[in-house]
Structure 1
Amino acid sequence: MEFDLIAYCVFFAAAFLGGFIDAIAGGGGLITLPAIMAMGVPPHVALATNKLQGSFGSFTAALNFSLKGMVDYKEIWIGIVFTFIGACIGTTLILVLDAKFLQVIIPFLLIAIFIYTLFAPKVGEEDRKARMNIRAFYTSFGLALGFYDGFFGPGAGSFWTFAIVALIGANMKRAVAHTKVLNFVSNIVSLGVFIIGGHVLWIVGVLMGIGQILGAYIGSNMVIKKEVKFIRTMFLIVVGATILKLVYSYFMG
């Protein structure tokens, strides 16, 4: 496919903004995927290209958080392994199945997360006692959310952050840092499957990847420097936007 200069500018701007938002609270795909599809790119090709550019952003944020000592790999290595497995299965299935049925279920789960976070103002402000065995958590959620991110995707980062805060008892900053590592794993696995299927627009994906790197670097630095309340507010905005986008897509798509 060929695009004009304006289209390439839109791709870059969307990727920068998506990388910035995604590094803070997840949900960058709400910006980048519609931008790609708005240029007439077919759904599977759009998903594949979105995974390519998203991998740049999630890697940048994960690397920045890791270098700042915010990621405990001894804690999340099991999650990395099972996210890898789940994403392989999910992305393979999306190439042959329709994900529309998830559009009915996911908004309700996100609404529950939104309400809980909104009415529990201290959630994620500091570390708390874990409510679930860490290994069991990362095994089950790695498979489930890795599968979900590979198969469908919207809100995956929000699900990870919320689950880590609610069930592992991590503060919001640590949860976001761990989320970016796990997001990168599912992104890169999904990308690998899409590449094998020959669905990637490389020029668009790499250009957007540069925008993602810049946005993710700035966004991840804001997470490091800002208070938890700021991150929590951004989280609520992104989850709310995800809900609206999914509901709109279901009724208007």
Structure 2
Amino acid sequence: MESIDISPTVLLILLLVGLLSGFIDSIAGGGGLIALPALLFVGLPPQVALGTNKLQGSFGTLSASWNFISRREVSLKTALPGIFFTLIGASGGALLVQSLDPSFIKPLIPILLLLVFFHTLFSRELGSKDIPARMQPILFHALFGLLLGFYDGFFGPGTGSFWTVAFMFFAGFNMTRATGYTKIMNFTSNIVALTWFIIGGNIIWSIGLTMAAGQIIGARIGSGMAIKRGAAFIRPLFLTVVFITIARLAFINFFNVT
């Protein structure tokens, strides 16, 4: 789909939006809170905005993931079981959403995110350092890969927040490592969703690739800062993004707007 005319000035603005979105998303998740409204604002239909957002966002999560891997903050080998189960879960969610309306779970998500917010806020030591894992790695990856992969393929908002807290609380990772592994899992489920949007023809390639260029730069800078500064830098931004996500979802549920 390429029937929407976008001026060079608007493309430049969207490039900068992609950069900012990639920067925020690589540190604390929630980049779609910036990118998706911008895509809707320039006149893209909702389904096309969602597809184009997945395209540009996938480049950001890939860039951030590679930065975490190349700096040895995360191990791709360790992440492989999670990638496998996330692919299965996300595929199931993406298939099921074709026949079911996901609106029935909308009221539940802000409540779950609120629990994430307060748990992170009051557990000041959470993510400050590695701790003993509460679950065996294979069980952790199977459970959360299937569950959160399915959720991201079926609905999506807040997936990164759920992954980050799961890695810290159940896998025992510090916040920097948890953020890195979250990017890998986000990229995995994003690719599944992106595949369905491509099949449906719901992508503006010129816009998506322009924003992707910004995403790559922003994600590289953001993930580098997250690695360098650690939990003290990530934590307040993470809490801010979770709170904004809660507010946005609550607003959508009460006023039925996007």
- Which TM class, normalised by the smaller chain length? over 0.9
Compare 28-37 and 111-120 and name the one that shifted more: 28-37
Partner of 1:118: 121
Give the corresponding residue for 1:109: 112
Q: Kindly provide the amino acid, as one letter, of the partner of residue 44 in structure 1.
A: Q
Equivalent residues of 1:24, 1:223 under 8 A apart: yes
Cα deviation for residue 128 of structure 1 reads 0.6
Distance 2:102 2:148 in 1: 15
Alignment of 1:226-245 (within 5 A): 226-245=229-248
Question: Deviations 1:71-106 (Å, cap 9, x if unpaired)?
Answer: 123322111001111111222333444332232110
- Given residue 59 of structure 2, which amino acid in structure 1 is its aligned partner? F
> How far off is 1:248 after superposition?
1.1
Q: Which residue of 1 aligns with 2:78?
A: 75
Alignment deviations for residues 150-186 of structure 1 (CA, whole Å, 9 cap, x no partner): 2222111111001000111110010001111111111
Using the size of structure 1 for normalisation, the TM-score is: 0.96
Match in the other structure for 1:41: 44
Distance of 1:5 and 1:94 partners within structure 2: 35
Aligned-residue Cα RMSD (Å) equals: 1.3
% same residue: 50
Distance 1:203-1:94 versus aligned 2 partners, 3 A rule: farther
1:125 Cα deviation after fit: 0.4
More deviation in 65-74 or 167-176? 65-74
Alignment of 1:17-36 (within 5 A): 17-36=20-39
Q: 1:124·1:165 contact (CA, 8 Å) conserved in 2?
A: yes
Structure 2 unaligned segments of length 5 or more: list them: none
Q: Which residue of 2 aligns with 1:98?
A: 101
Distance 1:11 1:101 in 2: 32
Count of aligned positions: 253
1:201 to 201, 204, 211: 204
1:58 matched to 2:61? The reply is yes
Answer whether contact 1:30 1:154 (CA < 8 A) is retained. no
Indicate which of 140, 156, 159 corresponds to 2:159. 156
Residues 203-227 of structure 1 deviation map (CA, whole Å, 9 limit, x = unaligned): 1110110010111011001011113
SS in 2 for 1:200: coil
CA distance in 2, matches of 1:127, 1:30: 30
Partner SS, residue 6 of structure 2: coil
Deviation at 1:6, TM superposition (A): 4.0
Q: Does 1:135 align with 2:145?
A: no
- Tell whether the 8 Å contact from 2:175 to 2:230 is kept in structure 1 after alignment: no
**Structure 1 residues not aligned, in runs of 5+:** none
CA contact (8 A) 1:10 1:35 kept: no
Q: Cα offset for 1:239?
A: 0.5
Amino acid at match of 2:49: A
